[in-house]
């Protein structure tokens, strides 16, 4: 505008649809007549989805058991104070009255556990976890990352690897599942492979490329609450150690909510009906913060684990839409007849 | 001087400061000091002529701009938060991330500022580099220098058509009279030439070549005292020397000290009403934020490092205290930081569309609307009161002479009237015929103003031999008594040839034509003056006196050679300060009395006989608004009489007429003329009275002495000058009166009607007399036929009576509105007030009543008001009624009013640019106001209001997700969405759609808005942006965020989902909800809308996915990818979005189906075919109109007093007054 004037061109504005604000426009008016079919369609679709979800969810089974041992009757009562009771073991018996089709996912669960606290969550050194050896050793209070405090150095000022509260507080109960077949304990095979995210295992977390792995950890100490150093987490499988240990990876992926489950193992063949005994090596203290420990067996489908909420929600909203369409119809008729009367 | 002590430097600097500050400037010429050290220059204290309007310098741009930006509280707040985030204990984000938004916003603003400053820099540079001639004593001639090198104390030569470089003291001009003409069109738009005279006593003897002499003369005399207003060639940019060979001046003020720079105050900052409301809501947001943060800090669960920890832990209260700040950092987006930037962008877009509107473009002047205030576009949509000037605003301000009355005889100029009936058509025919008749091809563009159709009777009177005195005097007065400057339209001299001499008579073709058509005989009569006029040049040059018919006054005097300005008989161009004057001069010219030239000392008039008279001008008593008249005192060249010609408002002249002792004729003339004047006024003509007075020499001389005293006086000069003028303007002899018509502008009545239908009260504030104003009021449909007019004439009444009259009026109005039959109608009362009454009504005791009464009136007309009163009225209404006001005017007298109103609109018309300069919006026609307000105003308001509400909603909806999450993460100010994505969410994914919404949304089409003005009412008062709508949308934001959080929460509760996998659907739901919410709000979808909304969604997915791949470090690594292969993600997003939007959707559906607000109905109509739609609009309007008619028929107020006032009696103010007071007394008694 200003420019045009300076150049002394004719000031006449361009006569285009855009500048004259005459672009072809669609002006939908949300009124009863138009939305009735929409509501009917949405309602029907939602009811369809809702039914599918609900039915799928119904077919899923879940068995959840608390083994914290707060009550005296609880089998793990004796172990509930792990400070006093080192390497305490307890066993939990349960009965399945129908077959859990495979694959069955075996979870451990914690409640009232704020893995999503901010300071807790950031308390790790990413460079350590990606296998950068420079971050394993003490380096002028820059390495490891200061967010790891107070789990950065031990009393001797040796760096902790992996450092930080998150790694330090790794869940360390272990479970063995036995099926009671005619009074004989038969161990159910648990599959611990691929329980973590593929990207975590293959890309995000890396071990230092030092062979054997333990040499990489020279001059460092294991996290305070760990019983074994990182390179010995899985004595059975050397590839499952260090920072790419599946259980470690699962733990490091922080849960979103304070009551959560984490995948422990998979049972590929499913669990036939019968009596089972779960042997727990009870290490992890939760009583102090009023937490609960649980185990859960669940089979999964395309929609994940059992969850009736979403199906019900779809059904409710679907029906609501249908009701709404009826209401709209009434309004529509009332409107269409009344203006003439006016 | 090579060195001097710092103390001396300081002393010198102080001395310089004093020299600059002094009222009296002692200047010394630079010439003797040329080439010396700077230190020895006498004028070193004064600024040089370089100008610098830039705010920043390249080196210090960043610190200065930041400093400037940190004046904004909001910016400080956000920087404070970003810094706070570097403190580890309260950290909520990675510190660097938190800096990004504030940096982006500061950078955007800085770029904008830098660009603006660069433009200023470029224009400064262009100006500073302009060449000009400065006298150099070394070279002994004028050398070319650049503007910025000109210094105070230099001698500058300015040639014709050059721009004056600085404030100059005019010493010499090439004009023999020492006059220099300047044009100030670029400065104030006034195209008439103004005269400036060289300093007397300097330039008398010098010839062209001896400029040196003057200069030396000045230097030698050393001290010349001047006061500034008269002698300085003022004004910096855009003041051009015209019609003068060259002029030499002495630089008095340069650079930033020039008048032009001092007057340049930069743009004004107005804050729109919406923005004021907005700030209140921002405060609500801050309160909300604090509440949320307090909840957060109270609920905070101290960090518990599982299992037992030996680390140091803060006490719970301290950690809560820290968390309060963390929460503020986390939830800071609730205070919409980007809102202010977005609003600015939206307004730029809106202004782009307003300035590009073809309907607001005027072909004739090739001007579009100019938006000077960039931040009050939305106020255009809320106007409740319009205060309009009359002349030049409602009317064209192109004066056309219509009728005159001379010596009590009326000359109606009927043909002129006919011409006016159909101006366009008549003009066409006229042009056509002229073409045929005269074989001329072009007509001057300003033909319309100058044409006058002669009255045959009057023509005969002039041509006739008897009784010529008064008639001649009358026209002489018209020609002389003014300040019109004569200039040549073309410098080309014209030969006297038949083909061309027709062309030379701009004013005559039509009269020639008409008389030709009517009576072939008159042609020959008319030829005589024309021939003589065009041959006038020969007459003058030959110095030959021609004696023609008629008594003493007609004997001719040929001006002495040399001193007379050579007037080529070319196209005379009259440049008048007011169009009335021009019209009168043109009239005189049409009747053969041609104003040939005007210098400060003389006026040359050519008589119909062809002879030229050169009148010596003894004095000019210029027009002022107190006297309402102007006079010119001339000495007649033949009779040597001193004659005073006076022209002025009728009441100003009539009072001063010679009291005729028994001279019945004079008395009769006065009364007849008065009658004619009343008649003219009723027709809406502007009337002027012309009078004359012959002074005897003694009388003049004694007065002249007094006048000299007055002019020389130091104190109270103005008053003394006026007194002296009043003294001589007595015992006038009435010559006659003129009626000049000021045509209504194109489609003014329609515009006024439409604006009133739109619920806007239109007030007209004019300096004209009531009769004229009332007539214009009727003409432009401001007043209706069935209106009741209170012609308040309180002049002689006491305040108590005034109070009672006002009370009485109010009572009537109240009774009317209380009457059940008058629901929804306003009483058809219009108020007509004159200036003096207004003064009384504005007094503190009465103003409340006055405002109350005026509020109930349909329209108000204030006559004879001064500029100051205009602004006072605007202020009063604005403050008392708390309404949005708009003032529209075109002249300097409207500037006060324009500045007082919420929105000032200037009309770039005939009266220069002052109004436009002061205005916020400058339009070229009054009718443009209609589209500007009804369409653009409505759009801008509804767009911006909806955009702001949406913005608040958007931020609240997004931030609340974080808040709800705090309940599940122990209030540790943790976010479940990656911080980068959170930043991008506001900066990239959801920023463009609301801006587009604010620029381009259209709730109702322009056709509907113009067709149904009452749609405008939605914006008035609170409109769409109110307390209610704000909180509704905030509640909606809370609801939607609850849905967007808790549906995924219940879905994923107890599962093994990790933080960012949980946050991804939340963020996605939030995005969809926010964008679809906007889609519900968008009223008209164009390709741009679709593109931007889809673009935002695509951008979200692309950026999030790309980001998830690229950065291993990123906590949300691969999250969206993982989620997108999970069907649950889509199911959760789908249902959450639907549930979140359902209430708003339903609300809109129900609102559109059940309620029948005009906007909704208009939108329904909008979807119809254009033809059916127009049909509907007509029906609607007629339906509404009928309803109104019906009610007003039924509901004549049951008041005998008001009923009895019919149209005729209304005009009679005495009567109206009596009735009302009587009525009041009755009431008081009972």
ipTM of the complex: 0.94
Higher pLDDT among residues B262 and B806, named by residue: B806
Helix (H), strand (E), coil (C) string for A136-167: CCCECCCECCHHHCCCCECCCCCEECCCCHHH
pLDDT bin (cut points 50, 70, 90) of residue B641 is confident
Residue closest to B281 by CA, chosen among B868, B782, B867, B956:
B956
pLDDT bin (cut points 50, 70, 90) of residue B820 is low
- Asked if B1163 lies within 8 A of A27 by C-beta distance, the reply is yes
- Mean of the per-residue pLDDT values of chain B: 74
| Neighbouring C-beta atoms of residue B704, cutoff 10 Å | 16
pLDDT bin (cut points 50, 70, 90) of residue B263 is low
Return the beta strands (E) in B448-575 as ranges: 485-488, 572-575
pLDDT bin (cut points 50, 70, 90) of residue B1093 is very high
Higher pLDDT among residues A42 and B1214, named by residue: A42
What is the separation of C-alpha A170 from the centre of its chain, rounded to a whole number of angstroms? 15
Tokens of A191: 């599959």
Whether B1049 and chain A come into contact, CB under 8 Å, resolves to yes
Q: Judge contact between B253 and B166, C-beta under 8 A.
A: yes
- Asked if B1054 lies within 8 A of A260 by C-beta distance, the reply is yes
Residue B247 above 80 pLDDT? no
Tokens of A68: 């914290």
Report pLDDT for B203: 42
Residue B415 above 70 pLDDT? no
Residue from the list A263, A288, A304 with its beta carbon closest to the beta carbon of B1128: A304
Residue B296 above 50 pLDDT? yes
Q: How far apart are CA B585 and CA B90, in angstroms?
A: 82
- What are the C-alpha distances in Å from B262 to residues A69, B146, B153, B257? 87, 21, 19, 6
Among the listed ranges B505-509, B626-630, B838-842, which one has the minimum average pLDDT value?
A: B505-509
Residue B387 above 80 pLDDT? yes
pLDDT bin (cut points 50, 70, 90) of residue B798 is low
Q: How far apart are CA A253 and CA A200, in angstroms?
A: 9
Q: Judge contact between B81 and B329, C-beta under 8 A.
A: yes
What is the separation of C-alpha B912 from the centre of its chain, rounded to a whole number of angstroms? 11
Distance from CA of B1043 to the nearest CA of A (A): 12
| Neighbouring C-beta atoms of residue A236, cutoff 10 Å | 6
Report pLDDT for A176: 92
pLDDT bin (cut points 50, 70, 90) of residue B749 is confident
Higher pLDDT among residues B1128 and B625, named by residue: B1128
Residue B724 above 90 pLDDT? no
Residue B1011 above 90 pLDDT? no
- Asked if B368 lies within 8 A of A13 by C-beta distance, the reply is yes
Q: Taking each helix axis as running N to C, give the angle between helix B95-128 and helix B337-355, from 0 to 180 degrees, rounded to the nearest 10.
A: 40
Q: Judge contact between B865 and B764, C-beta under 8 A.
A: no
Distance from CA of B115 to the nearest CA of A (A): 14
Q: How far apart are CA B453 and CA B586, in angstroms?
A: 11
Phi-psi region of B463 (alpha: psi -120 to 50; beta: other; left: phi over 0): alpha
Tokens of B541: 């040059």
Query: Does an H or E element contain B608, and which?
Result: none
**What would the mean pLDDT of A155-162 be, rounded to a whole number?**
86
**What would the mean pLDDT of B7-36 be, rounded to a whole number?**
68
Whether A124 and chain B come into contact, CB under 8 Å, resolves to no
For B307-335, the pLDDT digits (tens) are 444 445 667 788 888 888 888 888 888 88
What are φ and ψ of residue B295, in 5° steps?
-60, -45
Share of chain B above pLDDT 90, in %: 13
Residue closest to B242 by CA, chosen among B192, B189, B168:
B192
Report pLDDT for B292: 93
Whether A292 and chain B come into contact, CB under 8 Å, resolves to no
pTM of the model: 0.78
Q: Could you identify the residue written with the tokens 């020895």?
A: B40
pLDDT bin (cut points 50, 70, 90) of residue B262 is low
Q: How far apart are CA B355 and CA B366, in angstroms?
A: 13
Beta bridge partners of B642: B635, B695
| Residue numbers in A near B1062 (CB within 8 A) | 256-257
Whether A60 and chain B come into contact, CB under 8 Å, resolves to no
Q: How far apart are CA B24 and CA B45, in angstroms?
A: 14
Higher pLDDT among residues B264 and B518, named by residue: B264
Report pLDDT for B912: 62
| Neighbouring C-beta atoms of residue B1214, cutoff 10 Å | 10
Report pLDDT for B413: 73
Q: Which residues of B1163-1201 are buried (b: 16+ CB within 10 A; e: fewer)?
A: bbbbeeeeeebeebbeebeeeeeeeeeeebeebebebeb
Sign of CA dihedral A174, A180, A181, A182: positive
Among the listed ranges B201-205, B738-742, B1182-1186, which one has the minimum average pLDDT value?
A: B201-205
Q: Catalytic site residue B175?
A: no
Tokens of A122: 């950031």
Q: Is B893 annotated as a binding residue?
A: yes
**For chain A, how big is the Rg over CA atoms in Å?**
30
Q: Could you identify the residue written with the tokens 């960090």?
A: B303
Q: Judge contact between B864 and B835, C-beta under 8 A.
A: yes
Higher pLDDT among residues B1145 and B1173, named by residue: B1145
Query: Does an H or E element contain B246, and which?
Result: strand B246-253
Residue B230 above 50 pLDDT? no
| Residues 6+ away with beta carbon under 8 Å from B203 | B171, B172, B173, B178, B214
Higher pLDDT among residues B373 and A313, named by residue: A313
Among the listed ranges A24-33, B377-386, B469-478, B567-576, which one has the minimum average pLDDT value?
A: B567-576
Whether A28 and chain B come into contact, CB under 8 Å, resolves to yes
Q: How far apart are CA B224 and CA B202, in angstroms?
A: 10
Top-ranked range on mean pLDDT: pick from A167-176, B246-255, B833-842: A167-176
Q: Judge contact between B864 and B770, C-beta under 8 A.
A: yes
For B1165-1224, the pLDDT digits (tens) are 887 787 888 888 777 777 655 444 433 333 333 333 333 333 333 333 333 333 333 333
Q: How far apart are CA B65 and CA B683, in angstroms?
A: 60
Residue in B closest to A118 by C-alpha: B974
| Neighbouring C-beta atoms of residue B320, cutoff 10 Å | 19
Q: Judge contact between B191 and B579, C-beta under 8 A.
A: no
**What would the mean pLDDT of B512-530 be, rounded to a whole number?**
36
| Neighbouring C-beta atoms of residue B220, cutoff 10 Å | 7
Whether B1059 and chain A come into contact, CB under 8 Å, resolves to yes
For A179-227, the pLDDT digits (tens) are 998 888 899 999 988 899 888 888 888 899 888 888 888 888 999 889 8
Q: Judge contact between B27 and B43, C-beta under 8 A.
A: yes
Helix (H), strand (E), coil (C) string for B898-935: HHHCCEEEEECCCCCCHHHHHCCEEECCCCHHHHHHHH
Per DSSP, the three-state class of B423 is helix
**What would the mean pLDDT of B799-824 be, rounded to a whole number?**
69
Whether B1019 and chain A come into contact, CB under 8 Å, resolves to no
Report pLDDT for B65: 86
For A236-291, the pLDDT digits (tens) are 888 888 899 999 999 999 999 999 999 999 999 889 999 999 999 988 888 888 88
Terminal Cα-to-Cα distance of chain B (whole angstroms): 94
User: Taking a contact as any Cβ pair under 8 Å apart, which residues of chain B between 291 and 320 contact chain A?
Assistant: 301, 303-312
| Residues 6+ away with beta carbon under 8 Å from B834 | B770, B792, B793, B862, B863, B864, B865
Residue from the list B304, B969, B1138 with its beta carbon closest to the beta carbon of A116: B969
**What would the mean pLDDT of A114-134 be, rounded to a whole number?**
85
pLDDT bin (cut points 50, 70, 90) of residue B925 is confident
Tokens of B1088: 């741009």
Q: Could you identify the residue written with the tokens 């006298």?
A: B135
- Asked if A13 lies within 8 A of B358 by C-beta distance, the reply is yes
Per DSSP, the three-state class of A13 is coil
Q: Which residues of B510-547 are buried (b: 16+ CB within 10 A; e: fewer)?
A: bbbbbbeeeeeebeeebeebbebbbebbebbeeeeebe
**What would the mean pLDDT of B372-399 be, rounded to a whole number?**
84
Residue A167 above 80 pLDDT? yes
Pairing of strands B629-635, B612-624: antiparallel
Per DSSP, the three-state class of B764 is strand
Report pLDDT for B1034: 94
**Residue A244 exposure: Cα atoms within 13 Å on the Cβ side:** 21
For B931-945, the pLDDT digits (tens) are 999 999 999 999 999
* A&B contacts, CB < 8 Å: 226
Per DSSP, the three-state class of B294 is helix
Report pLDDT for B91: 77
């Amino acid at each position: 505008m200003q420019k045009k004037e300076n150049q002394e061109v004719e000031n006449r504005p361009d006569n285009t649809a855009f500048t004259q604000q005459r672009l072809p426009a669609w002006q939908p008016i949300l009124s009863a007549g138009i939305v009735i079919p929409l509501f009917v369609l949405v309602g029907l679709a939602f009811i369809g989805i809702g039914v599918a979800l609900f039915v799928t969810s119904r077919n899923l089974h879940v068995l959840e058991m608390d083994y914290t041992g707060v009550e005296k009757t609880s089998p793990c009562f004796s172990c509930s104070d792990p400070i006093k009771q080192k390497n305490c073991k307890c066993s939990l018996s349960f009965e399945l009255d129908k077959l859990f089709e495979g694959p069955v996912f075996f979870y451990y669960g914690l409640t009232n556990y704020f893995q999503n606290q901010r300071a807790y969550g950031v308390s790790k050194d990413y460079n350590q976890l990606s296998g950068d050896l420079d971050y394993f050793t003490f380096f002028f209070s820059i390495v490891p990352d200061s967010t790891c405090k107070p789990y950065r150095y031990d009393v001797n000022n040796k760096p902790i690897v992996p450092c930080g509260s998150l790694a330090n507080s790794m869940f360390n109960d272990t479970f063995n599942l036995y099926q009671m077949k005619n009074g004989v304990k038969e161990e159910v095979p648990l599959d611990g492979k691929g329980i973590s995210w593929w990207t975590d295992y293959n890309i995000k977390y890396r071990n230092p490329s030092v062979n054997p792995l333990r040499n990489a950890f020279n001059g460092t100490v294991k996290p305070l609450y760990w019983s074994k150093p990182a390179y010995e987490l899985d004595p059975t499988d050397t590839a499952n150690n260090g920072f790419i240990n599946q259980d470690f990876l699962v733990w490091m992926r922080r849960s979103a909510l304070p009551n959560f489950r984490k995948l422990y193992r998979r049972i590929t063949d499913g669990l036939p009906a019968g009596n089972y005994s779960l042997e727990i090596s009870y290490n992890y203290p939760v009583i102090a913060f009023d937490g609960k420990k649980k185990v859960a067996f669940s089979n999964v489908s395309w929609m994940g684990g059992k969850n009736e909420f979403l199906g019900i929600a779809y059904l409710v909203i679907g029906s609501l839409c249908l009701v709404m369409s009826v209401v709209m119809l009434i309004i529509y008729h009332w409107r269409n007849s009344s203006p003439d009367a006016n | 001087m090579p060195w001097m002590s710092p103390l001396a430097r300081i002393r010198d600097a102080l001395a310089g400061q004093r020299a600059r500050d002094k009222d009296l400037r002692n200047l010394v010429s630079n010439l003797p000091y040329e080439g010396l050290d700077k230190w020895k220059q006498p004028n070193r204290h004064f600024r040089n002529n370089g100008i610098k309007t830039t705010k920043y310098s390249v080196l210090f741009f960043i610190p200065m701009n930041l400093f400037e930006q940190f004046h904004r509280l909001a910016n400080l707040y956000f920087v404070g938060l970003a810094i706070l985030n570097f403190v580890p204990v309260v950290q909520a984000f990675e510190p660097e991330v938190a800096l990004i938004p504030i940096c982006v916003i500061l950078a955007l603003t800085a770029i904008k500022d830098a660009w603006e400053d660069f433009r200023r820099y470029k224009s400064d540079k262009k100006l500073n580099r302009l060449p000009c001639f400065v006298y150099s004593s070394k070279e002994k001639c004028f050398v070319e220098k650049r503007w910025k090198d000109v210094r105070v104390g230099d001698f500058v030569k300015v040639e014709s058509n050059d721009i004056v470089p600085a404030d100059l003291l005019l010493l010499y001009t090439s004009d023999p009279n020492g006059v220099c003409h300047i044009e100030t069109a670029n400065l104030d738009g006034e195209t008439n030439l103004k005269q400036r005279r060289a300093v007397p006593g300097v330039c008398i003897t010098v010839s062209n070549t001896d400029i040196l002499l003057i200069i030396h003369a000045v230097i030698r005399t050393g001290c010349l005292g001047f006061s500034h207003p008269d002698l300085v060639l003022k004004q910096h940019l855009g003041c051009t020397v015209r019609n003068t060979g060259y002029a030499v001046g002495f630089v008095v003020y340069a650079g930033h000290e020039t008048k032009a720079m001092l007057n340049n105050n930069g743009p004004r900052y107005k804050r729109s009403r919406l923005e004021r409301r907005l700030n209140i809501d921002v405060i609500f947001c801050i309160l909300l934020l604090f509440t949320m943060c307090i909840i957060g800090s109270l609920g905070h669960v101290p960090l518990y490092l599982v299992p037992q920890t030996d680390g140091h832990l803060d006490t719970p209260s301290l950690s809560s205290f820290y968390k309060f700040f963390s929460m503020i950092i986390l939830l800071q987006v609730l205070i919409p930081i980007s809102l202010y930037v977005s609003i600015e962008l939206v307004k730029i877009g809106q202004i782009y569309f307003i300035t590009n509107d073809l309907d607001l473009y005027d072909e004739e002047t090739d001007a579009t609307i100019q938006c000077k205030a960039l931040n009050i576009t939305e106020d255009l949509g809320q106007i409740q009161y319009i205060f309009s000037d009359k002349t030049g605003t409602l009317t064209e301000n192109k004066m056309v002479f219509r009728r005159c009355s001379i010596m009590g005889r009326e000359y109606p100029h009927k043909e002129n009237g006919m011409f006016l009936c159909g101006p366009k058509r008549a003009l066409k025919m006229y042009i056509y015929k002229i073409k045929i008749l005269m074989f001329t091809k072009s007509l001057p563009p300003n033909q319309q103003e100058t044409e006058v159709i002669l009255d045959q009777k009057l023509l005969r009177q002039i041509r006739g031999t008897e009784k010529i005195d008064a008639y001649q005097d009358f026209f002489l007065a018209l020609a002389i008594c003014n300040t019109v400057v004569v200039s040549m339209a073309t410098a080309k001299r014209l030969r006297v040839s038949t083909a061309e001499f027709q062309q030379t008579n701009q004013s005559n073709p039509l009269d020639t034509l008409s008389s030709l058509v009517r009576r072939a005989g008159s042609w020959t009569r008319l030829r005589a003056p024309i021939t003589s006029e065009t041959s006038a040049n020969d007459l003058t040059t030959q110095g030959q006196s021609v004696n023609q018919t008629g008594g003493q006054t007609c004997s001719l005097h040929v001006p002495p050679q040399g001193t007379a300005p050579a007037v080529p008989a070319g196209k005379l161009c009259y440049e008048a300060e007011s169009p009335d004057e021009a019209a009168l001069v043109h009239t005189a010219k049409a009747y053969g009395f041609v104003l040939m030239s005007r210098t400060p000392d003389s006026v040359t008039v050519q008589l119909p006989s062809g002879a030229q008279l050169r009148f010596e001008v003894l004095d000019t008593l210029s027009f002022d608004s107190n006297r309402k008249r102007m006079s010119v005192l001339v000495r007649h060249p033949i009779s040597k009489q001193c004659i005073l010609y006076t022209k002025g408002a009728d009441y100003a002249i009539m009072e001063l007429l010679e009291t005729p002792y028994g001279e019945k004729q004079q008395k009769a003339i006065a009364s007849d003329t008065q009658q004619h004047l009343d008649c003219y006024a009723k027709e809406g003509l502007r009337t002027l009275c012309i009078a004359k007075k012959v002074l005897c020499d003694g009388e003049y001389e004694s007065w002249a002495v007094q006048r000299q005293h007055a002019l020389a006086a130091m104190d109270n000069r103005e008053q003394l000058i006026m007194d002296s003028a009043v003294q001589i303007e007595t015992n006038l002899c009435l010559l006659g009166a003129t009626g000049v018509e000021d045509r209504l502008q194109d489609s003014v009545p329609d515009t006024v009607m439409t604006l009133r239908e739109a619920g806007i009260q239109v007030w007209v504030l004019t300096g004209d007399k009531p009769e004229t104003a009332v007539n214009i009021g009727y003409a432009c449909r401001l007043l209706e036929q069935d209106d009741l007019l209170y012609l308040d004439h309180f002049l002689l009444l006491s305040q108590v009576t005034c109070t009672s009259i006002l009370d009485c009026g109010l009572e009537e109005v109240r009774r009317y509105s209380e009457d059940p039959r008058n629901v929804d109608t306003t009483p058809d009362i219009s108020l007509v007030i004159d200036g003096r009454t207004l003064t009384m009504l504005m007094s503190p005791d009465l103003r409340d009543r006055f405002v109350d009464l005026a509020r109930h009136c349909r329209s108000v007309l204030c006559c004879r008001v001064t500029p100051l009163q205009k602004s006072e009225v605007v202020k009063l209404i604005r403050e008392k009624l708390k309404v949005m006001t708009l003032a529209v005017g075109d002249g300097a007298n409207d500037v006060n009013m324009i500045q007082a109103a919420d929105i000032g609109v200037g009309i770039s018309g005939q009266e220069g640019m002052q109004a436009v300069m002061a205005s916020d919006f400058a339009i070229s026609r009054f009718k443009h106001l209609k589209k500007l307000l009804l369409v653009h105003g409505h759009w801008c308001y509804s767009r911006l209001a909806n955009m702001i509400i949406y913005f608040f909603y958007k931020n609240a909806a997004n931030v609340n997700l974080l808040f709800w999450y705090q309940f599940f993460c122990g209030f540790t100010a943790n976010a479940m969405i990656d911080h980068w994505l959170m930043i991008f969410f506001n900066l990239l994914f959801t920023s463009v759609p609301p801006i587009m919404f604010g620029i381009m949304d259209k709730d109702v089409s322009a056709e509907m808005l113009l067709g149904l003005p009452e749609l405008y009412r939605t914006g008035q008062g609170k409109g769409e942006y109110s307390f209610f709508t704000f909180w509704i949308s905030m509640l909606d934001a809370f609801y939607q965020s609850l849905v967007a959080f808790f549906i995924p929460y219940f879905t994923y509760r107890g599962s093994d989902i990790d933080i960012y996998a949980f946050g991804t659907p939340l963020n996605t739901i939030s995005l969809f909800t926010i964008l679809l919410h906007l889609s519900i709000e968008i009223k008209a979808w164009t390709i741009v809308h679709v593109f931007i909304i889809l673009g935002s969604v695509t951008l979200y997915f692309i950026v999030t996915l790309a980001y998830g791949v690229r950065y291993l470090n990123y906590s949300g690594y691969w999250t969206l990818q993982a989620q997108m292969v999970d069907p649950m993600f889509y199911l959760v997003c789908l249902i959450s979005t639907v549930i979140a939007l359902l209430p708003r959707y339903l609300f809109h559906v129900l609102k559109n189906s059940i309620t029948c607000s005009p906007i909704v109905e208009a939108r329904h109509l909008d979807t119809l075919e254009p033809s059916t739609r127009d049909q509907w609009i007509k029906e609607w309007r007629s339906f509404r109109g009928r309803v109104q008619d019906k009610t007003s028929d039924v509901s004549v107020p049951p008041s005998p007093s008001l009923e009895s006032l019919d149209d005729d009696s209304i005009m009679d103010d005495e009567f109206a007054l009596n009735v009302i007071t009587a009525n009041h007394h009755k009431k008081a008694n009972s």
